Homo-oligomer: A and B are copies of this chain.
Amino acid sequence: MCELLGMSANVPTDIVFSFTGLMQRGGSTGPHRDGWGIGFYEGRGLRLFQDPSASYESEVAKLVQRYPIKSEVVIGHIRQANVGRVCLANTHPFVREMWGRSWCFAHNGQLADFAPELGFYQPIGDTDSEAAFCDLLNRLRAEFSCAVEVEQMLPTLVQACAAYRRKGVFNCLLSNGDWLFSFCSSKLAHITRRAPFGPAQLTDVDVQVDFQSETTPNDIVTVLATAPLTNNESWNLYQPGEWRLWRAGECIAQGLAD
């Protein structure tokens, strides 16, 4: 299995604190040694860092921890391989351009007997995750000939995720830089931080942060993770089948798939 990390915020926010916690699980406090990746949206651009080596000892991960990149939408992932060998092409998150935007996707879980029809988007590596991402985009393009509001796409998105879930485990994060869609098949947690901000303590490493000193009173920052990253805050656990759509730190739609 793998672990996911997501962020949605109403102001460009750095995710160094949460990323530092997650990276420990990539070979130190967790077994996810088979690569890691993180994508930061900057406007319509996407800054992607990936490494097929363990995040705990990755030079690139050290750079990301040292160098606070501010973003409103982030998708990260650490991998413990099940389908597909350990290599860069199999490293999440995956990215495709659709309708002039960068779409970014990460998946935790595995799918059995999953061989979707090849469409316009085709996997580069050989993971079930990238195959599902391509299939999801192919479904959206088949349904809509041009960009539409995310609310219009939601039924297609949720239906596709529910179908993948019936083939195994499908926790995922998806974004086009504007919104962040999350689907929970088995395990996903979220926390929304807003004023008054307090201190937080990572579970996986002895690091504390006082968000009060790093934020303004109007900041709203939601962090998503497979398992809570801090041990002194109250995280909310998704139910199996629950999906949530986030924008600017707020949950703007949610539901429960069949």
Contacts and interface: CB of A to CB of B under 8 A. Distances in A.
A128 to B, nearest CB: 15
A55 to B, nearest CB: 15
Contacts of A50: 45, 47
A102 B124 contact: yes
Interface majority SS on A: helix, strand, loop or mixed?
mixed
A121 interface: yes
Given A63-B59, A63-B63, A101 B124 contact: yes
Contacts of A123: 100
A160 interface: no
A70 interface: no
Contact of A121 (B87, B90, B97, B125): B97
B87 A125 contact: no
Nearest to A51: B47
Interface string A162-194: 000000000000000000000000000000000
Contacts of A125: 44-45
A155 interface: no
A123 B99 CA distance: 8
Contacts of A99: 122
Interface in A37-60: 42-48, 50, 52, 59-60
A5 to B, nearest CB: 20
A91 interface: yes
Interface string A80-91: 000000011111
Contacts of A59: 63, 66-67
A90 to B, nearest CB: 8
Contact of A45 (B66, B91, B101): B91
A43 to B, nearest CB: 6
B96 A124 contact: no
Contacts of A101: 124
A120 interface: yes
Given A59-B67, A63-B63, A99-B122, 8 more contacts: A42-B87, A45-B89, A46-B88, A59-B66, A95-B95, A97-B121, A100-B124, A102-B124
5 contacts: A42-B87, A43-B87, A60-B63, A95-B95, A102-B124
